[in-house]
Amino acid sequence: MKTLKSIFAIAIIAVVTFSCKNETQPEVKTVDTETEVKTVKAELDPNVTYAKAEFKIEGMTCAMGCAKKIEKKMANMEGVKSATVDFDRQLAMVEYDEAKVSTTSLENTVTGVADAYKVKDMKTVDAFTKGACKADCKKDCCKNKTEAEKKACTKDCKKECCAKAEKA
């Protein structure tokens, strides 16, 4: 029994001695990263007349992932002056050079980001619609609430339509 205790003690000391590292410097690993990012966009021609298009995008599930990714893809197209995607209204507004970009190429860019995205109601406009909210926004922001909670919700709501509904 005494021999077994001695062997066990020696084994523990050996494990502790050889498993502990006495390094004072932490291990540093270097990872190569790509530092060059190509975000250079061709200069916009000031003599070009730009068309404006608005269309609905169905299938978006988030503002940061979906809407921003689509917006960035369209904004990086050659001939696109500006692109904005409003996730809440599921609306894209694009200003583009008709000689370089077509509504079909805009649609292909959106659907090329992911198969889940569908373009609806593509139309060319003279001016983009304002950030007005849907007529039934009281239903959207106050659904599943009591009448008292709906009134409080309308009072706290910053949407234009709720402010109009409160005054009425």
Selection from 84, 68, 78 nearest residue 40 by Cα: 78
Selection from 98, 165, 107, 110 nearest residue 137 by Cα: 165
Chain segment 83-95, per-residue pLDDT in tens: 988 888 888 899 9
Report domain 50-125's class: alpha beta
Selection from 152, 134, 130 nearest residue 142 by Cα: 152
Distance CA 60, CA 118 (A): 9
Chain segment 118-138, per-residue pLDDT in tens: 888 888 887 777 754 444 444
DSSP H/E element including 5 = helix 2-19
The per-residue pLDDT for 142 is 58
**Per-domain residue ranges of the chain:** 50-125, 137-167
